[in-house]
Chains A and B, each alone.
Chain A
Amino acid sequence: MNTAAFLFIAILTLAGALAAAVLPRLIHAALCLVGAFLGLAGFYFLLGAEFVGLVQVFVYVGAVAVLIVFTILLTRREREKDHASDWGGAVVALAVFVGLLWAIFQTPALAVAAPGIEPLTVRAIGEVLMTDYVWPLQCVGVVLTAALIGALVLVMEEKR
């Protein structure tokens, strides 16, 4: 059951990511990227990390994808032309992939069986965030507030 689900999600995710990389029209690529994001969320669900999966959908599909789509929309100057395939990018991507794969197989952690951990509940995450990690949380809050104010300042009309 789980293996079948894993295979299905894996194929979906990889297909989405590949399509996002090779499709000539930017909007299509962005929408396929959303498919890859959804596949990743499916993996988190499969691993029992329900909260992470939901946040993945919430942040990446709800916010990041909309941002990407808006960016494409507002910066598109002319109709897309057919681009010749850029082999340089493919070589770099392949090199990075092989490097990462090599690094992963070099790590000793792979040989050790993962210890059984309890499934993380939302409550546990909330308690840890509010006790041990309260300062990082506050710092993130300050950064986001600064970003919000910065965006407002950028779009504010100048007073004459």
Chain B
Amino acid sequence: MPGEFLDQIFVGAKRYILSFFVGAPEWLVRLVSSLITILVLIHVFLGLFALMSVLERKILARIQNRLGPNRVGPFGLLQPVADGIKMLIKEDIVPARADKVVHFLAPIMVAAPTILALGVIPYGRNMTPFAIDGGILFFFAVGSATELAVFMAGWGSNNKFSMLGAMRAIAQMVSYELPLILSVLPVVMIVGSLSPDAIVAAQSGYSLGVIPHWFVVTPWGAAGFLLFFVSGLVESNRTPFDVPEGESEIVAGHMTEYSGFKYATFFLAEYFGMFAISGLAVTLFLGGWNAPFAPLRFIPSYVWFFAKLSTLLFVFIWIRGTLPRMRVDHVMNFAWKFMLPMAFACVLAAAVWHYQARRLAGWLWSLVIVVAVYFVLSRLLDARKKFAPRTYRFAE
């Protein structure tokens, strides 16, 4: 394998640091090893968060035909530093009627699960920070704690906008958790394991040396990836599903009564959640850290992972710059009437693909199933017939 040294450079570096602790007791070695992993993980993603926050503003500005931040540092790259200092020195306002303890704990409780969820994603060959057998399950288990944290934020603020935002957030997160998990199910079925490393390993081959065995190149995988991505948009409360904090209706949802660094923590949690869900999408459907073509395998694995992650994050920003916000009842209808049946269709299509020996015939049959279900659903849900042509009273 060419590029072996560069590929394993971070693993080697950690081993080198641990070699200083050869004579030390075992618990100390384990503690140091965990601490190194945790510190690197948090700092890499804090750096990515800073970069992402300025890039998002730059790209949105480009989409809206303006310049974006360009005053602080070259190309405005030091903007996150300025933002961080601003957030730190702002006054921390706690409403007089707020539930102080719950109000204080909520931002921490929102941020902690997202950081935990980042731990089970394989970032490169031998680079899974927390490799456990049920990694996928762990991801969703800690992810489900976010709902409670959002509720704490809404309820602790003792404000009607906060409460409304929290209710909306929980409603849509609970609804979309179902298609999110069901779209992961076919991958788990085909691989036969809940471990992210096994899922990446199952996608490592190439057909004819050029077509990677990523699940996204199969029909059920492509459909599952789209379902997963849309559910991920909802779970991280991003446009067009940002009804919980719809600023034109309910100020800022559950974040209304937060200021200063607590507000920044909510933002951090939103971005970390986005990184986690994109990282899982890369792991499940886009081949994890595998190179897209066999000849490109000399480029280190983590480069591929972060390239794919950045692409998905760019799509997140792109969608935010393009689509308007959905109405809250449409969001819920979409989950139960379209996403859920499509996710079941994906499970069926994956089973057909598997039992046709994963060949071309199975590929075509699963395509037939996914497309047929899609057409039936879109025909059934077609609402165009129900509305009369719109008439304008004053705008003629």
The residues of A with any CB-CB pair to B shorter than 8 Å are 1, 27-28, 31, 34, 50-51, 54-55, 57-58, 61-63, 65-66, 69-70, 73, 121-123
Inter-subunit contact B140/A58 (CB<8 Å) = yes
Could you tell me which residues of chain B, from 128 to 148, have a CB within 8 Å of some CB in chain A? Answer: 132-134, 137-138, 140-142, 144-145, 147-148
Q: How far is the CA of A51 from the CA of B141 in the complex (A)?
A: 11
Select one of B102, B132, B142, B193 contacting A31, CB under 8 A.
B102
Select one of B101, B134, B155, B177 contacting A50, CB under 8 A.
B134
Q: Which residues of A contact B216 (CB under 8 A)?
A: none
A sample of 4 more A-B contacts (CB under 8 A), given A27-B102, A50-B132, A62-B147, is: A31-B148, A62-B177, A69-B151, A122-B134
Inter-subunit contact A122/B137 (CB<8 Å) = yes
Q: How far is the CA of A55 from the CA of B148 in the complex (A)?
A: 16
Q: Which residues of A contact B152 (CB under 8 A)?
A: 31
Residue B16 is within 8 A (CB to CB) of chain A in the complex: no
Residue B286 is within 8 A (CB to CB) of chain A in the complex: no
Q: Which residues of A contact B138 (CB under 8 A)?
A: 54
Q: Which residues of B contact A65 (CB under 8 A)?
A: 148
Q: Interface on chain A toward B: helix, strand, loop, or mixed SS?
A: helix
Residue B27 is within 8 A (CB to CB) of chain A in the complex: yes
Inter-subunit contact A57/B148 (CB<8 Å) = no
Could you tell me which residues of chain B, from 67 to 121, have a CB within 8 Å of some CB in chain A? Answer: 99, 101-102
Q: Which residues of A contact B155 (CB under 8 A)?
A: 27, 69, 73
Select one of B101, B134, B145, B194 contacting A62, CB under 8 A.
B145
Residue B174 is within 8 A (CB to CB) of chain A in the complex: yes
If A31-B102, A50-B132, A66-B174 touch, whether A61 touches B137 (CB-CB below 8 Å) is no
Inter-subunit contact B193/A123 (CB<8 Å) = yes
Q: How far is the CA of A69 from the CA of B174 in the complex (A)?
A: 14
Q: How far is the CA of A122 from the CA of B155 in the complex (A)?
A: 37
Q: Which residues of B contact A122 (CB under 8 A)?
A: 133-134, 137, 193-194
Select one of B102, B134, B142, B147 contacting A66, CB under 8 A.
B147
Give the size of the chain B interface in residues (CB under 8 angstroms). 25
Shortest A20–chain B CB gap in Å is 14
If A1-B27, A73-B155 touch, whether A61 touches B132 (CB-CB below 8 Å) is no
- Output the nearest chain B residue to A72 by Cβ-Cβ distance: B155
Select one of A54, A61, A69, A73 contacting B134, CB under 8 A.
A54
Complex interface bits, B185-206 against A, C-beta within 8 A gives 1, otherwise 0? 0000000111000000000000
Q: Interface on chain B toward A: helix, strand, loop, or mixed SS?
A: helix
- Output the nearest chain A residue to B132 by Cβ-Cβ distance: A50
- Output the nearest chain A residue to B147 by Cβ-Cβ distance: A66
14 contacts between A and B (CB under 8 A): A27-B99, A27-B102, A51-B133, A54-B138, A55-B137, A57-B144, A58-B140, A58-B141, A58-B144, A61-B145, A62-B141, A62-B145, A63-B144, A66-B170
The CB with the most chain B CB atoms within 10 A, among A28, A58, A61, is that of A58
Q: Which residues of B contact A51 (CB under 8 A)?
A: 133-134, 137
- Output the nearest chain B residue to A27 by Cβ-Cβ distance: B155
Inter-subunit contact B192/A123 (CB<8 Å) = yes
Q: How far is the CA of A69 from the CA of B151 in the complex (A)?
A: 8
Q: Which residues of A contact B148 (CB under 8 A)?
A: 31, 34, 61, 65-66, 69
Q: Which residues of B contact A50 (CB under 8 A)?
A: 132-134
Inter-subunit contact A54/B27 (CB<8 Å) = no
Q: How far is the CA of A10 from the CA of B136 in the complex (A)?
A: 27
Q: How far is the CA of A69 from the CA of B167 in the complex (A)?
A: 11
Inter-subunit contact A57/B141 (CB<8 Å) = yes
If A27-B155, A65-B148, A123-B193 touch, whether A58 touches B170 (CB-CB below 8 Å) is no
Could you tell me which residues of chain B, from 141 to 195, have a CB within 8 Å of some CB in chain A? Answer: 141-142, 144-145, 147-148, 151-152, 155, 170, 174, 177, 192-194
Q: How far is the CA of A122 from the CA of B99 in the complex (A)?
A: 41
Select one of B133, B147, B174 contacting A121, CB under 8 A.
B133
Q: How far is the CA of A66 from the CA of B174 in the complex (A)?
A: 9
Q: Which residues of A contact B177 (CB under 8 A)?
A: 62
Shortest A115–chain B CB gap in Å is 22
Select one of B142, B170, B192 contacting A57, CB under 8 A.
B142
